Structure 1
Amino acid sequence: MTATLSGVFCFDGADPLYEGHFPGNPVVPGSLVVEAFYKRLQEAGHAPIEAKNFRFRSFVPPGSYPYTVRCENGRAACRLFHGETPAVTGEMVLP
């Protein structure tokens, strides 16, 4: 069975986390991006058991970013976009 999830992740630049990551040039930590995908899959009724092959193709400053997740054959292909270009790609293994 194939399912596609999509939406927008919002990373609030006012969060004090960004004061130190990095001063003058805030960047969303990669772990927060992976966690956002994990939580979205949980909300959709999936329980990811492993994150694999996440690639950060560009820095992700705080802001709003569209994403897609394609679930198929026990895998969830995750993509976060900056404009039309994928900024983050990766995969979650589903049970």
Structure 2
Amino acid sequence: MTATTLSGEFFFDGTDPLYEGHFPGNPVVPGSLVVEAFVMMLQEKGHTPVEAKNFRFRAFIPPGTYAWAVTLEKGRAACKLFHGDKPAVTGEVVL
């Protein structure tokens, strides 16, 4: 089976009330929302996520627009969220 790469952008809206408390004056996207964005995107593409694991956060993610890439291969989705040209979040979703 050949690997398939998907890519796109996620937008985390800084006007969402959740950022009033996460964190006042320095909003940060909760890690659970980043993982959920990957899971929801995979569902929209017709995949059935079973488990999200090994997500690593290498930088704080302020609200905004971020490029992502997912490589699908052998029942797994290797996920990357980019802050600029560097991966800020990496992880895996088992399909």
Residue 87 of structure 1 pairs with residue 88 of structure 2 = yes
| TM-superposed deviation, 1:15 | 0.4
Match of 2:75 in 1: 74
TM value normalised by structure 2:
0.97
The alignment covers a number of residue pairs equal to 94
| TM-superposed deviation, 1:4 | 1.2
Inter-partner Cα distance in structure 2 for 1:53 and 1:8: 21
Where do 5+ consecutive residues of structure 2 fail to align? none
1:3-39 Cα shifts (integer Å, max 9, x gaps): 2110000000000010000001000000000000000
Match of 2:4 in 1: 3
Match of 2:13 in 1: 12
Residue 61 of structure 1 pairs with residue 49 of structure 2 = no
1:26-81 Cα shifts (integer Å, max 9, x gaps): 00000000000000100111011000100000000000000001000111000000
Structure 1 residue identity aligned to 2:36: E
Structure 2 residue identity aligned to 1:12: D
| TM-superposed deviation, 1:91 | 0.2
Match of 2:51 in 1: 50
Where do 5+ consecutive residues of structure 1 fail to align? none
TM value normalised by structure 1:
0.97
Inter-partner Cα distance in structure 1 for 2:86 and 2:60: 12
Question: After TM superposition, which residue ranges in structure 1, 4 or more long, deviate above 3 angstroms?
Answer: none
Inter-partner Cα distance in structure 2 for 1:7 and 1:34: 15
